[in-house]
Amino acid sequence: MEERLRALLVAPPGAGKGTQATAISEEFGVEHISTGDLFRAEVAAGTPLGAQVASYLDRGDLVPDDLVHRLVREKVSEAMGATGGYLLDGFPRTLAQAQVAHAAAVEQGVPAHAAVTFEVPRAVLVERLLERAQADGRTDDDEKTILHRLDVYDRETEPVVAFYEGLGVLIGIDADRPVGEVTASTIAALRAALDRA
């Protein structure tokens, strides 16, 4: 059977991960797994997991790794079963998450073909997030929480980018451009990574 895309998006809040993930997952016919969306759905549905994670989301802090791993493991294996590939959006967000996920994926013979990072200047990210706050009223989109989430990204998630660079699967995309251009560049780079697999 033809190999399906397995990829991760590692980028700061406001870089366009969600929008790009929708386009990429449609293009490659694989499931889009957004850990942020999954956690928000748990909170909205009032599940026990939702109750455990709500305060982290509201503060813009990361949910503890054990809760993240449980959810991701289940969703990735469902996605592999349903579509033979996956596009993870918002995971991994710490070096520990990346190491555990990589080890598990290698063990199961399904390591990611690529990790994509979207590069956007910080001032542009803040501007985009403030606009989004007005449009969809997420509880973590006020200015103080936005700045905190960007700091959390720099401290906790930036090292994940270097991890995938070390594995030789990193794709860096200039995402301070119109959405369609970013999508086209990303799809071309992922297509090339998949062809090399």
Nearer Cβ to ligand AMP (38/194): 38
- Alpha-carbon torsion angle 70, 158, 25, 147, nearest 10: 90
Q: How far apart are CA 172 and CA 117, in angstroms?
A: 5
Q: Which of 91, 72, 88, 98 is nearest to 160 (CA)?
A: 98
From 132, 177, 191, 196, active-site residue? 132
Nearer Cβ to ligand AMP (85/92): 92
| Smallest gap from residue 185 Cβ to ligand AMP (A) | 21
155 part of the active site: no
| Smallest gap from residue 120 Cβ to ligand AMP (A) | 14
Instruction: Give the H or E element holding residue 8.
Output: strand 6-9
From 4, 6, 17, 40, active-site residue? 17
| Smallest gap from residue 33 Cβ to ligand AMP (A) | 10
Q: Which of 90, 86, 110 is nearest to 25 (CA)?
A: 86
Nearer Cβ to ligand AMP (60/85): 60
Residues that bind ligand AMP (CB under 6 A): 13, 35-36, 39, 56-57, 60-63, 68, 90-93, 97, 140, 149
- Any bridge partners for residue 171, and if so which? 116
17 part of the active site: yes
Per residue in 43-73, is it b (16+ CB within 10 Å) or e — as a string? beeeeebbeebbeebeebbbbeeeebbebbe
144 part of the active site: no
177 part of the active site: no
From 138, 155, 177, 191, active-site residue? 138
138 part of the active site: yes
Q: What is residue 85's three-state secondary structure?
A: coil
Nearer Cβ to ligand AMP (117/194): 117
Residues annotated catalytic, as ranges: 17, 93, 132, 138, 149
